[in-house]
Chains A and B, each alone.
Chain A
Amino acid sequence: MSNTNKKAPARTMDLVERSLARRYGAEKRFRFYGVISVVIGVLALALLFWEIFSAGLGGFRQTHIQLTLKFDPDVLEIADARDARQVQNGNFEGVVRAALAERFPAVLDRGGRRDLNGILSIGAAFDLRDKLVDEPELLGQTRTYWLLADDDVDTYYKSLREGNAFTARTSEARQVWIQELIDGGELRTQFNTRLFTSGDSSEPEMAGILGAVVGSLLTLLVTFILSFPIGVAAAVYLEEYAPRNRFTDFIEVNISNLAAVPSIIFGLLGLAIFIGLFGMPRSIPLVGGLVLTLMTLPTIIISSRNAIKAVPPSIREAALGIGASKMQMILHHVLPLAMPGMLTGAIIGMAQALGETAPLLMIGMVAFIMDVPNGISDPATVLPVQIFLWSDSPERAFVERTSAAIMVLLAFLVCMNTLAVWLRKRLERRW
């Protein structure tokens, strides 16, 4: 071998040099394909974010109208502001109407009045009631407030500012009033706190994602509490104790297959078993969590097994060699070293579960629920289902709220993935 090389060094080098240009060319193309792929990926991501942000940022602002109102006991029909029942039944809409009539005294006909009253949300009256509950002394006094505008006004005002006024649902008379309010500085957008503090509503200006966020958190809590210990225990058994035979091979293949089963099937399973067979109520986070546990388990088992496999055998031998029992070896050495990997897998599984819609539709978490759930057995919906519901609503104002909710969901996902990375960095030990 060495002889032939020595005899014809020049010839070999010629051959090598002749092929060099071709090889470098191939390498350049190879790198170029990679760059193109990365650029396509980044562009797709940028497009997605631009689309969502441009549509959704408006959802974080809400139009408000400034009005001076008098908490007139006669209009309200409230004699004692400390009497909860009286306040509950108070005619706050009458106060709002009176204030509007005072602001626009020229509007006298019935139709015009009704149109005028419609520029404020029905939520404005509820807000006034809350204020009176907080401050009973307000009864009989006159105050100036920024009140919640109707979603049509909101949509019109925002589109007007962008120079492309959407007038389909705003009468000409209203446009005049709104212009008058704008000129007087009595109409402006404020941060949309309701989006984060209230549950779903059929009125876009009053709709919020709090109910869905709490529902999502409760569902994820159930999912995590069930799937992490079960997944880790299964992984430990399969990796450390189970004998290698046909049966365990069969189990392994099935776990891998389950990870690829479409999630809606898990929803059907949950519907048949948890609701059909066990008679659990529909639409509750407990059932949602159970279904998502089934869905997440394979992911957690597989990632936990890989994390356990990655623990060097020398550490196991070291522990066994000084007389640790198998359980001590696992608990003291294998699991701590595998923990970052297992947690990362679990968090990624949770992120997957957070974004899951289809199986939850099956078990009825798609219902219209206004109240924020108080526990895992209260009817609830989750963020992605809320997004799905809003995207289905006809009101224009729901478009930007849908995008705003998507941004919140994305923020949660980014937070969870960041947590996974941070935990891995934090817990990772070198050996």
Chain B
Amino acid sequence: MQQTLEQKPPVSPKVSAPPMAPTFSIPEPAQMPVSADYKTVGVPLVENAKFAMRDVNVFYGEKQAVFNVNLDIGENEVIAMIGPSGCGKSTFLRCLNRMNDTIDICRVTGSIQLDGEEIYASKMDVVPLRARVGMVFQKPNPFPKSIYENVAYGPKIHGLASRRVDLDEIVETSLRRAGLWEEVKDRLDAPGTGLSGGQQQRLCIARTIAVSPEVILMDEPCSALDPIATAKIEELIAELSQNYTIAIVTHSMQQAARVSHRTAYFHLGKLIEVNDTQKVFTTPDHALTEAYITGRFG
């Protein structure tokens, strides 16, 4: 017994930045480095860009998490971001509505423009920005309030409805769009936390769309859900893409393939390849992308 314990390999080194998960699969992505002057292959830039990112670098203190990313997100496009754990895709996503501001040591350089407006400009107010760029998180996080209150909260604080009937209408349309109305219309006063995981996540989506955002960021929205709930969310994403621009980070390549128009592959904080989803999953341009989607590392 004693001997086998001693033979154990040393504990893998700690990763410092909070949102980056430790990497432990073999071979690790770290063993497949990308040169500093890499160039993203494929079609990172588009004509009708809603979001335009140029030379985006993100640092956690001394450690750089995202390197020189150039990427456009088109109007009403669903873009999926895939890549191994700790590759910086979530960090990058959180730059788009400045959620990284809540982390003291996080620093962003480069240019991120929403409809030609620099979102990291000092005069940019994050409150309206986050109303325009909504976010759905990995773990369903409804407020510990009623279902109604959950959806009505955003419109209330932004003053979108002055009368109760208007608010009721926003709540109903948001819940309908999120595909939750039929399930909860008789118990709007029930606590949102009492719903199932999948329903909670759809409630969070309803809450996000209640403030009529232009872009919805989704950070692994299905990773805490079972397959049936996941299928419902995916259906919902397809529907929402008619009205919204959606950027989704996912660990599931099948999900990326099912819901997105374009797919971006991140590797160690670098954007390796952006192409039409179909192309990425059939004939990727870059060897690393191919290695990842064929499961040779993870």
Residues on A lying within 8 angstroms of B by beta carbon are 1, 4-5, 12, 15, 243-244, 312, 314-325, 328, 332-333, 337, 429-431
Contacts and interface: CB of A to CB of B under 8 A. Distances in A.
Nearest to A336: B144
B227 interface: no
Question: Chain B, interface size: which category?
Answer: 20 to 34
B193 interface: yes
Contacts of B204: 318
A316 B157 contact: no
B144 A322 contact: no
Interface in B99-155: 99, 102, 104, 126-131, 134-137, 139, 141-144, 153-154
A312 B140 CA distance: 12
B137 A318 contact: yes
B289 interface: no
Contact of B143 (A4, A243, A333): A333
10 contacts: A244-B104, A314-B141, A322-B153, A322-B207, A323-B126, A323-B128, A323-B158, A325-B127, A332-B153, A333-B143
Interface stretch (B1-9, B56-64, B235-243, B280-288): B1-9
B59 to A, nearest CB: 17
Contacts, number: 79
Contact of B135 (A15, A321, A324, A429): A321
Contacts of A15: 1
Contact of B99 (A315, A321, A324): A321
Nearest to A4: B4
B211 interface: yes
A316 to B, nearest CB: 7
Nearest to B158: A323
B137 A431 contact: no
A314 B139 contact: yes
Q: Give the interface centre of A12, A244, A320 by most chain B CB atoms within 10 Å.
A: A320
Nearest to B8: A1
A318 B143 contact: yes
Contacts of B137: 314, 317-318, 321
Q: Which 3 A-B pairs have the closest CB atoms?
A: A323-B131, A314-B141, A323-B130
Nearest to B130: A323
A15 B2 CA distance: 13
Nearest to A428: B144
B90 interface: no
B277 interface: no
B245 interface: no
Contacts of A312: 141
Contacts of B210: 322
Given A323-B157, A430-B193, 16 more contacts: A1-B4, A1-B7, A4-B4, A318-B142, A318-B204, A318-B207, A319-B143, A320-B130, A321-B137, A321-B208, A322-B130, A322-B157, A323-B128, A323-B131, A333-B143, A429-B191
A180 B173 CA distance: 90
B76 interface: no
Nearest to A314: B141
Nearest to B131: A323
Contacts of A315: 141, 143-144
A4 B131 CA distance: 60
Contacts of A316: 102
B97 interface: yes
